[in-house]
A and B are shown apart, each in its own frame.
Chain A
Amino acid sequence: MRRKMSWRNLFLSVYGWLFLVFIYVPILLITVFSFNSNPVNMMIWQGFTFDWYRTIFGFPTELNELTLYVESTDQLYHAVLNSLTVALITTAVSTVLGTSVALAVARFRFRLKNFYRALMFMPMIMPDIILGIALLIFFVSFGFGLGLHTIIIGHCTFLSSYVFIVVSARISDMDDSLEEASADLGADGWTTFKRVTLPLIAPGVIGGAMLAFIISMDDLVITYFISGVDSTTLPVHIYGMLRRGIKPEINAIATVMLAFSFIIASVGLYMRSRKK
């Protein structure tokens, strides 16, 4: 019996360790290789360098132009700027939309309520590629003209759902009678929202917003279909770079993005931890 238990424990620890190895070793490798000075084969360690970071930020290096993707950093910056623009606007719009719908579904009784709830879940379970193609056909047939605006609209369609789900979970934890108490004490609807509802669901709203921001920054598949020629976002730009082969700069870009996501996620976790 004891022996059997220990076998099981051994299996579980091996499984646990493998899980962590497969998640974090690739990330670790990419970070390490981003400092590798070998321009030809980035898998072979040659020496420590900041050159790859210097190139992506546009500082002069002594590297051979041929080893680089980035002829000028303008394109890269442009893509980053596009991504940030899209992510910020999308986050703002989908947070307001998702939160409003979550409140409406939780607070009011209306016909087909569960149908609307299901509708809000749909974009989450729909494959990205189908959503991308569907949006492309929709935009083209209605003559939208592809650009940043189509990316923003596209992202909002599915990110509102994410916000809806996160905020809904938070609202369901909230005691309905708190809003009644507020009204009872003389507060009108807007005052109640401002003073009671919003402060109480704020952790959910902030969490939903950050999730929306990260997913928007990160999205490739849907954006790939609905971005115009001049409206390349960072993931689409990187994907374009990769088609010309994997070069060491990509490690540096990836590491910077990773650091950025890490900071956002840390802030998010911090906000969550102090919700009470």
Chain B
Amino acid sequence: MQGILRIENASKSFQAPEGGVIRALDNVSLTVAHNEFLTLLGPSGCGKTTLLRAVSGFEDLDSGEIYIDGQPVSDQPAHKRPVNTVFQRYALFPHLTVERNVAYSLEVRGIAKAEIRERVGNMLELVGLAGMGARKIGQLSGGQQQRVALARSLVAQPKILLLDEPLSALDKNLRHKMQQELKILQHELGISFIFVTHDQEEALVMSDRIAVLNGGTIQQLDAPEELYRRPGNEFVARFIGESNLLDATVVSVEGASCDVVLTDGTVIRDCPVNGLKQGDPAKVLIRPENLVESVGQSSADERAGHEISGTVSESFFAGTDYHLVLACQGLPPVRASLRAGPGTSHHTIGEQTSLFVPHDAVHLIPERGAPA
């Protein structure tokens, strides 16, 4: 794929202050398509910001190459690269007005005054700040500053817009609003966005694809739904969404489905096989919201092999859902979110209960080291 951005075998190490070497990027390769919203997601220190800074030109790679629109850019200093960044704390120039901030990249390039005025005006309108051009940065709210930062980067018409956790300083409501606006803006402008965040919910909402990073390597690069439903490894499964991860062994394989046995002896039937063979160890991923109450599920025969039983150890009502924790002999605690509908009832602590596991709700993750 000849995308707008291609990163090949990027590696970067830092000298840790305590001595020793931190591998911030370990042989990372990645291609970003035209007009794609790609998110780099991971915990702090996973390398996502380093990767972004390598693209913008603020970090030199130890090895590897970055191509923007087919051109290698390793030798280009930051100010010559056709990308722009929205910084985490916006980095707006406090001595300039909103208008002059947005105009900065155009002024620096020596574009004619009349054209600058027009483009800045249009851009301020686009981000919803029309009429605020004469204000000082200090007079703006956090959300407005965010918009100025966005306008300032976009007015330069970058080939890629890089966003370094730009929403982390905003309060929750504003953040949700900006997430939607950013997504719409990206769609309208048709520019590729690379968005860095540690907030998995944010990543799921906004992205076309998400690259999950940890320890300087890409753990998985996929569309949000795929990542959520079929995480490639335990880290991704735990990092994205709530999860129950249970140790299991494959006992029999039949075509595309298999049966597994959990550590407490419970058998779960008809799981998607995911390349596993008989006798392979695996992690069984069951999302809490995919578990259903057994009561009301047809016959006992049909339920057999699709149930987890235990004692309710925690139970509370959270509006849309009942949250339960089931303590099972020989298993880690199992979390369940039961949709609060007419049929569901509150479970009391200490109650014995069974939860139904729909066969398509199970995802098997091959254990590390096992043949995939």
**Shortest Cβ distance from B94 into A: residue:** A200
B50 within 8 A of A: no
A230 within 8 A of B: no
**Which residues on A sit within 8 Å (CB–CB) of B11?**
none
A199 within 8 A of B: yes
Of B103-111, B213-221, B235-243, B353-361, the one with at least 4 CB within 8 A of chain A: B103-111
**Shortest Cβ distance from A184 into B: residue:** B85
Q: Would B156 and A177 count as touching, CB distance under 8 A?
A: no
Interface of A is mostly: helix
Which of A184, A196, A276 meets B79, CB within 8 Å?
A184
Q: Would B93 and A181 count as touching, CB distance under 8 A?
A: yes
Chain A, 39-67, CB within 8 A of any chain B CB: none
**Which residues on A sit within 8 Å (CB–CB) of B105?**
185-187
**Shortest Cβ distance from A176 into B: residue:** B91
Q: How far is the CA of A68 from the CA of B105 in the complex (A)?
A: 66
Q: Would A199 and B108 count as touching, CB distance under 8 A?
A: no
Which of A178, A180, A276 meets B78, CB within 8 Å?
A180
**Shortest Cβ distance from B88 into A: residue:** A177
Q: Would A185 and B84 count as touching, CB distance under 8 A?
A: yes
Chain A, 172-203, CB within 8 A of any chain B CB: 175, 177-178, 180-188, 191, 195-196, 199-200
Q: Would A177 and B91 count as touching, CB distance under 8 A?
A: yes
Which of A180, A188, A200 meets B95, CB within 8 Å?
A200
Which of B58, B77, B91, B156 meets A178, CB within 8 Å?
B91
**Which residues on B sit within 8 Å (CB–CB) of A184?**
56-58, 78-79, 83-85, 153
Q: Mark B73-87, 1 if CB is under 8 A from A, else 0.
A: 000011110011101
Which of B77, B84, B91, B138 meets A276, CB within 8 Å?
B138
B89 within 8 A of A: yes
Q: Mark A236-251, 1 if CB is under 8 A from B, else 0.
A: 0000000000000000
Q: Would A180 and B94 count as touching, CB distance under 8 A?
A: no
**Which residues on B sit within 8 Å (CB–CB) of A187?**
79, 104-105, 108
**Which residues on A sit within 8 Å (CB–CB) of B89?**
175, 177
B287 within 8 A of A: no
**Which residues on B sit within 8 Å (CB–CB) of A178?**
91, 93-94
**Which residues on A sit within 8 Å (CB–CB) of B78?**
180, 183-184
Q: How far is the CA of A178 from the CA of B58 in the complex (A)?
A: 13
**Which residues on B sit within 8 Å (CB–CB) of A186?**
79-80, 105, 108-109, 156
Q: Would B84 and A191 count as touching, CB distance under 8 A?
A: no
Q: How far is the CA of A84 from the CA of B116 in the complex (A)?
A: 46
Chain B, 151-167, CB within 8 A of any chain A CB: 152-153, 156
Q: A195-B108, A199-B95 are in contact. Are A185 and B87 (CB under 8 A)?
A: no
**Which residues on B sit within 8 Å (CB–CB) of A195?**
104, 108
Q: Would B58 and A185 count as touching, CB distance under 8 A?
A: no
Q: Would A182 and B104 count as touching, CB distance under 8 A?
A: yes
Smallest Cβ distance from B35 to chain A, in angstroms? 21
Q: How far is the CA of A110 from the CA of B31 in the complex (A)?
A: 35
**Shortest Cβ distance from B85 into A: residue:** A184
**Which residues on B sit within 8 Å (CB–CB) of A180?**
58, 78, 85, 87, 91
Q: Would A185 and B152 count as touching, CB distance under 8 A?
A: yes
Smallest Cβ distance from B272 to chain A, in angstroms? 45
**Which residues on A sit within 8 Å (CB–CB) of B104?**
182, 185, 187, 195
**Shortest Cβ distance from A187 into B: residue:** B108
Q: Would B87 and A191 count as touching, CB distance under 8 A?
A: no
**Which residues on B sit within 8 Å (CB–CB) of A177?**
87-89, 91
Q: Mark A79-102, 1 if CB is under 8 A from B, else 0.
A: 000000000000000000000000
* Beyond A177-B91, A182-B104, A184-B83, 16 additional pairs, beta carbon < 8 A: A177-B88, A178-B91, A180-B78, A180-B87, A181-B87, A181-B92, A184-B56, A184-B84, A185-B84, A185-B108, A185-B153, A187-B79, A187-B104, A188-B79, A199-B95, A276-B138
Interface residues of B (CB under 8 A from A): 56-58, 77-80, 83-85, 87-89, 91-95, 104-105, 108-109, 138, 152-153, 156
Q: What would be 9 A-B contacts, judged by CB atoms less than 8 Å apart?
A: A177-B91, A180-B58, A181-B92, A183-B58, A184-B84, A185-B153, A186-B108, A188-B79, A200-B95
